[in-house]
Amino acid sequence: MRVSLVRTAGLICGVLPLFLFFCAFLIPPVVAQGPVVRDQVDPNWLPDGHSFWYRVLAAPGSNEFVLIDAETGERKSAPDLPSLGLPESPPLRSSGTVIQPRSSKRTGVSSGIRFVNELDENLEVFWIDPGGKQVSYGKVSPKSERVQQTYEGHVWLVIRPDGRELAVIEAGPLISTLIIDGEGRQPGKKAVSSPDQSPDRRWSARVEKDRVVLTARDGEKERLLRAPIPDKAGYRGRVSWSPDSKAFVVSAAVEVPERRVTIVESSPPDQGQPRLKTFPYAKPGDPLPKPQLVLFRTESEEGRVIDPTLFPEPFTQSHEIRVTWSPDGSEV
């Protein structure tokens, strides 16, 4: 009897590990169901500097949009961005843009672009898809406007009847306004920008490479403004007026060499022959333009360079700093 028990125990000890080994393959593992939610917040500050909004994944396939008042702590949530009642982005003028058509690389939240045609000709609007193909979305009649539904990150191109490119704009998370008042400049060109009016229409200012020119709309002669910008630097980009029309800012930067890469597209979708493409391709250690902001007031001909220690290393390849004024014009 003792021998039988010993044999039985030995048999069990030998078979049990093998049985458990096969069970490990027969029983499916328990895995997490669905993505992790509410794990990331990417704040988008509003122009007033006191509030911001963000988007979180509330459930698989469902987003929640949240508006936070940083001063009071008040929280407002909505299932979509328009329901938060956020202000539109500041308008952009086509004459102050750089024409750089590119494919749409991402699809963010639903938004829109308001195209305002100030010209006396029909303009055609194209969406540039991820493959670089231009897809027509209709025309904007002279002296009229239309709103095009789109998504954050989508790139749009405006073309004249003769095929010339007027402007390129990338949609943001909020509704953008593009005022089409002329042709943008080609990359690398330093053409004089069109005069930009103050909100009260009493002043106009224009940026040239070596100077800033201010003109009163009542017929006063042009005034040449100056500021202690760095040696070899020139004024760049657009004029950004304060809401009270008492001041404006422009950017100043040194021209730096641009590294470019050339590739061959062997099988373009719209033609049979290979196509040569050249595009900027910065590498670590390449010099950057390091733009600075210059503040001018209408009451003075002397400008002031904003303290560069406030943003000592602006990591950008642009020669211009995009700015937004506070509603009362006291901050930028």
Distance CA 306, CA 315 (A): 17
Sign of CA dihedral 71, 74, 80, 82: negative
Tell me if 168 sits within 8 A of 178, measured CB to CB.
no
What's the order of all strands across the beta sheet hosting 44-45? 44-45, 51-59, 62-69, 75-78
Cβ atoms of 177 and 147 closer than 8 Å: no
Supply the Cα-derived Rg of the chain in whole angstroms.
29
Question: Hunting for tokens 């009847």 — which residue is that?
Answer: 161
Predicted confidence at residue 111, as pLDDT, reads: 81
Q: Report the pLDDT value the prediction gives residue 191, as an integer from 0 to 100.
A: 44
Max intra-chain CA distance, the chain = 122
Assigned token pair, 192: 């004089």
H/E stretch holding 231? none
- Please give the Cα distance from 332 to 330 (Å, whole number): 7
Question: Cβ distance 237 to 247 under 8 Å?
Answer: no
Q: Are 250 and 240 in contact (CB under 8 A)?
A: yes
pLDDT at residue 16, rounded to an integer = 56
What pLDDT is recorded for position 192? 44
pTM, full prediction: 0.45
CATH classification for the domain delimited by 88-186, as one of 3.10.129.10, 3.30.1490.20, 2.60.40.780, 1.10.8.50: 2.60.40.780
Say how far apart CA 25 and CA 32 lie, in whole Å: 19
Q: CB of 89 within 8 A of CB of 173?
A: no
Contact yes or no for 292/229 (Cβ under 8 A)? yes
Apex 82 CA angle, 55 and 48, nearest 5: 75
Mean pLDDT by 10 residues, the chain (332 residues): 50 56 55 59 74 78 82 86 75 83 84 91 93 91 92 92 89 86 72 63 80 79 84 82 88 82 77 73 80 89 84 73 77 75
pLDDT at residue 190 in the model: 47
End-to-end CA distance of the chain: 95
Cα–Cα distance, 110 to 187 (Å, whole number): 29
Partners of 293 in the beta sheet? 251
**Which of 241-273 are b and which e, b meaning 16 or more Cβ less than 10 Å from the residue's Cβ?**
bbeebebbbbbbbbeeeeeeeeeeeeeeeeeee
Block residue for tokens 């040569």: 276
pLDDT of 140: 94
User: CA 285 from chain center: how many Å?
Assistant: 24
Report the pLDDT value the prediction gives residue 193, as an integer from 0 to 100.
44
From the CB of residue 184, how many other CB atoms can be counted at a distance below 10 Å?
23
CB-CB contact of 114 with 171 (8 Å): no
- Hey, where are the domains in the chain? 44-84, 88-186, 190-332
State residue 2 phi and psi, 5-degree precision.
Answer: -65, -40
Find the length of the chain: 332
